[in-house]
Amino acid sequence: MSTEVKVPTLGESVTEATIGEWLKQPGDAVAVDEPIASLETDKVAVEVPSPVAGVMGQQIVAVGDTVNVGAVIATIEAGEGKAAPAPAAAPAPAAKAEAAAPAPAARSEESVDTVTTMSPAVRRLVLEHGLDPTKIKGSGKDGRLTKEDVLAAANAAPDTAATPALAAAAPTPAASGAPGRREERVKMTRMRQTIAKRLKSAQETAAMLTTFNDCDMSAVIETREKYRDSFEKKHGVRLGFMSFFTKAVALAAHDIPSVNGRIDGDEIVYYDYLDVSIAVSAPNGLVVPIVRNAESLSFAGIEKAIADLGKRAKEGTLTMDDMTGGTFTISNGGVFGGLMSTPIINPPQSAVLGLHRIEDRPVVRNGEIVIRPMMYLALSYDHRLVDGREAVTFLKTIKEAIEDPTRLLIDL
């Protein structure tokens, strides 16, 4: 008896997805609610659970195919699937030489299995760095490799050569005049396609402009160092910089509401709340989960929300609700070492704040040149809605709040 596995409801306004990866192969044992496939939507990766226990049957669609909500993608058959092979008994000393012979074949099979379960992005990184994927410990679901796993392994052993198994599994490189040169074509994920379309649409629709300022991080750093341990002990979460900037954005948005608004046809929509989209790096690309009602959250509440969203982004467990909405975006390129950037608006929002790395620079204070930890701030905004005076005032308010955090407490 067969049971059909259908594409589940993916969220409001999301009607289709792409098969990103098959987590179970025909003949594998499957438990109730065990994920059998991963779907890529416009915003997040969604796992498809098995409705019944049994054996993985036919895979009706292939990786990369587009499927609609409710479409049948596989079947689950009644019965018991393939059991994991029992470990072989230790060979007698006299038989060690004969037992050692099949090892290369087993190793090759293991390598190929590892390669076939890697996502295209991870596989590309493995090829670029010439690593043996079977020697990398995966931190993803069911031990699968993530981009972070590969990058960590590359930093630890940059000169490791690619294994024959990986080379065999890789596509044949295009012909070229020089040895060792290769190219690979990988289909863009649905998420990457959506990111590309939305960002290009933002450039074509909004009258984007970026204004810059810098801020002295001395007071925030001092406050953070002073209360770091007691804050973590009381709230169970680290005190970071993002809570200071989120509170500063809430303060500035109260005075300049257009930055936290959007254009809808010939109308302007203003929000009396602040839902901050926090740009987070995830294995499948950049995602922007949302901290809801940030204007009413405490420092601890903001830090807990960000920590939870960041953790689930790396695990690939963010939901559509986590990604839907948002009235303003904060993008922290400083964690990657970026000195300055012009961030692109996340439509239909009207502004995005870009944070950058902190570095010691000479500045003038009270007529003297001193060294201070400085950070460049960048505010990209839709000039159709936000005037230059408002944008400069908004960024100046953030700068003043960061340089004097007491302002965040007395709403000044």
Residues annotated as catalytic (active site), given as ranges:
383, 387
d(CA 147, CA 153): 10
Collapse the DSSP code of 56 into the 3-class scheme (helix H, G, I; strand E, B; otherwise coil) and give the result.
strand
| Cα torsion 63, 64, 70, 71: sign | negative
Listed in sequence order, the residues at least 6 apart from 376 whose beta carbon sits closer than 8 Å to its beta carbon are: 212, 213, 214, 339, 340, 356
**406 burial via Cβ count (<10 Å: 0-12, 13-18, 19+):** exposed
Residue 4 pairs in a beta bridge with 75
Listed in sequence order, the residues at least 6 apart from 191 whose beta carbon sits closer than 8 Å to its beta carbon are: 40, 41, 42, 43, 44, 45, 284, 285, 287
d(CA 71, CA 42): 18
Residue 260: other Cβ atoms inside 10 A = 27
Task: For residue 338, give both structure tokens.
Answer: 């970026």
The phi and psi torsions of 231 (rounded to 5 degrees) equal -65, -45
d(CA 144, CA 113): 11
Beta strands in 275-318 (DSSP E): 276-278, 280-282, 285-287, 290-291
d(CA 347, CA 178): 44
Contact (Cβ atoms closer than 8 angstroms) between residue 50 and residue 34: yes
